[in-house]
Amino acid sequence: MRFLAAVLAILPLCAQSPDQKLAREIFQQLIEINTTDSSGDNTRAAEAMAARFRAAGWAESDIHVLTPVPRKGNLVVRLHGTGAARPILFLGHLDVVEALRSDWPFDPFVFRQQDGYFYGRGTSDMKGDDATLVAAFLRMKRENFHPARDLILALTADEEGGTANGADWLVQRHRDLIDAQFCVNTDAGGGHIKNGKHIYMAMQAAEKVFLSFKLEVTNNGGHSSLPTRDNAIYHLADGLSRLAKFDFPVHFFDVTRAAFERGANIYGGQLGTDLKTMVQNPNDAAAIARLSAIPLYNAQMRTTCVATMLSAGHAENALPQLATATVNCRLLPVDKAADIKRTLEQVLADPKIAVTEMREPVITPYTPIDPNVMAAVTASTNKLWPGIPIVPAMDTGASDGIFLIRAGIPTYGVNGIFNDEDDYRAHGRSERILVKSFDDAVDFIYDLVTRLAN
């Protein structure tokens, strides 16, 4: 009886379609190609996927591996349609954040299936999504699918913080290959699971603006045996302590207001009540305090700035002549960089702390979601998960969608992988996604791509 129960327990994980099986093979291949900025090879991953498209019968003229510098290859593939409408671009990135073997209980670049999960660096961000896109395009070719418009797949480099050799480079140097009526970016959006239950599908309609500031204190220094109170480290530390206690004001706009409004109908208990309260009265102090304690909602309500790097001193027996810190801010798209810098200087409250922008922020203009795209996402979602609501969302991180939007290509964040809200491991140790979520996403992405294509 125990043996039978064990067999029945694993059957759902084994009962995969041929397309899901192919997608898993692609997924494994991508995970086991290291594509980190420091030692990985994005070009190798791009070439590996290009080889699959060649084997599937794509013309060489429709497969482009574009390599601005060694190890930074991008793949662009086109499936031709009848030309009844302008193309659609489907976007993902092949690079991943660093992962040290010493930090993980197993090799992060070996694809591992265990206890109903796939493990490995990039499983959730975002080689699982890449695999669903590649599998969908291969299936359309195999089934001789004829779209009403060209469909373009772009898998890029450098989204995770390398240099500008990915989507930004493609927009500037190869706009003709990726130009489209709109883009579906699978590095955003996605399904949410709470307490084991699928609760909603998020569709990214806006994203925060990435902006880092360098904080710098200089001093004449001296011998450590003759300390003074005028210490560069202390100045910086005191300023950072004030920043740690500071919250930017709550600032809603239509996307976040809609997300809270729909979320109030999804969640019960105190959380649902607080979300509803914030829609009705965004100045309610008690609701703000409770939601601010939850990182996800805190980041949705306001611009955030947090210290991420610190450096000071030049010798253990010398007073520090220089102390620096990096403060990373994620701005609401309706906030202005100059205002945030001014507020930081006021909060640090020390003229000896110089505050400078580390690079010019990429401002992303906000545009409403195309109702036809929303309708297609809703239909594909309801086909696989009947009754699941679609919630417009603001991405608190950043994605390559900013470069496309800035270039005039509307971009919507959509993917079919459901993740547990309380077990989000992207960029972290033992990154993983549910096997069942991946298999379902394979079917979802194919349905969405073909639905949008016609």
Q: Is the peptide bond before 374 cis (omega within 30 degrees of 0)?
A: no
Q: How large is the average pLDDT for residues 330-359? A: 96
| pLDDT band with cut points at 50, 70 and 90 for residue 151 | very high
- What gap in Å lies between CA 154 and CA 121, rounded to an integer? 20
CB 135 within 8 A of CB 23: yes
Higher-scoring residue by pLDDT: 380, 366: 380
Give the number of other CB atoms < 10 A from CB of residue 444.
26
| pLDDT band with cut points at 50, 70 and 90 for residue 38 | very high
- Asked if pLDDT for residue 10 goes beyond 50, the answer is no
Q: Using CA atoms of 138, 141, 147, 150 in order, give the dihedral in degrees to the nearest 10.
A: 70
Q: How large is the average pLDDT for residues 199-228? A: 95
Q: How large is the average pLDDT for residues 65-78? A: 97
User: What's the chain's average pLDDT?
Assistant: 94
Read off the DSSP letter of residue 202: E
Bridge partner residues of 190 (DSSP): 202
Q: What is the pLDDT of residue 164?
A: 87
| pLDDT band with cut points at 50, 70 and 90 for residue 360 | confident
Higher-scoring residue by pLDDT: 16, 230: 230
Q: What is the pLDDT of residue 220?
A: 96
- Asked if pLDDT for residue 352 goes beyond 50, the answer is yes
Q: What is the pLDDT of residue 2?
A: 40
- Helical H runs in 267-387? 269-280, 285-292, 295-301, 337-348, 371-384
Percent of the chain, pLDDT > 90?
88
Q: What is the pLDDT of residue 341?
A: 97
User: Model-level pTM?
Assistant: 0.86
CB 159 within 8 A of CB 187: yes
Q: What is the pLDDT of residue 14?
A: 52
| pLDDT band with cut points at 50, 70 and 90 for residue 8 | very low
- Helical H runs in 362-417? 371-384, 401-406
- Asked if pLDDT for residue 125 goes beyond 50, the answer is yes
- Most distant CA atoms of the chain, gap in Å: 80
Q: What is the pLDDT of residue 163?
A: 74
- Asked if pLDDT for residue 5 goes beyond 50, the answer is no
- Asked if pLDDT for residue 363 goes beyond 90, the answer is no
Among 419, 436, 435, CA closest to 384:
436
- Asked if pLDDT for residue 4 goes beyond 70, the answer is no
- Asked if pLDDT for residue 191 goes beyond 70, the answer is yes
| pLDDT band with cut points at 50, 70 and 90 for residue 45 | very high
65: left (phi over 0), alpha (psi -120 to 50) or beta: beta
